[in-house]
Amino acid sequence: MAETSSRIGRYIAGFFAVLVLALVAYTFITLHWSYSTGERAGYMQKLSEKGWICKTWEGELTMVSLPGAAPEKFAFSVRDEAAVAKINAAMGKRVALMYEQHRGVPSNCFGETEYFAVDVREVAP
């Protein structure tokens, strides 16, 4: 009887170990394999570090398609500290923001949006 309960305990522990490994693999894949990449142009409006436990960098890019039209805001997250420094240097300026879209990231501890800024460059107005 003790042997049977020990065997069941090992199966349960093995099941949870496989479950944790699957979650880690899924998280790794969603963070390192981008669904799409792109570039948005506009004025860098905001960048702030947010979160109670998981601190993430969150920003907004204001895009104006036509003069006089209501601006559209593009919300993004930043994971790379070098990109954070470049975005802070470009605050208030017209920029082109390069981003990667990562769908299905299992937690907002990696970023509140599915769009992750990877680089920024200033654009002449």
β 72-78/115-122 pair status: parallel
- What CATH number should be reported for the domain whose range is 34-122? 2.40.50.140
> What does the domain layout of the chain look like in residue ranges?
1-33, 34-122
Cα–Cα nearest to 123, from 42, 38, 64: 42
Q: What is the pLDDT of residue 20?
A: 94
Q: What is the pLDDT of residue 69?
A: 79
Q: What is the pLDDT of residue 5?
A: 75
Q: Chunked in runs of 10, what are the mean pLDDT values of the chain (125 residues)? A: 77 92 90 92 94 92 82 93 94 94 89 94 86
Q: How many helices and strands, by DSSP H and E, does the chain display?
A: 2, 5
Residues in the chain: 125
Pair 96, 39: CB distance under 8 Å: yes
Cα–Cα nearest to 41, from 80, 90, 98: 98
Q: What is the pLDDT of residue 31?
A: 86
Q: What is the pLDDT of residue 49?
A: 94
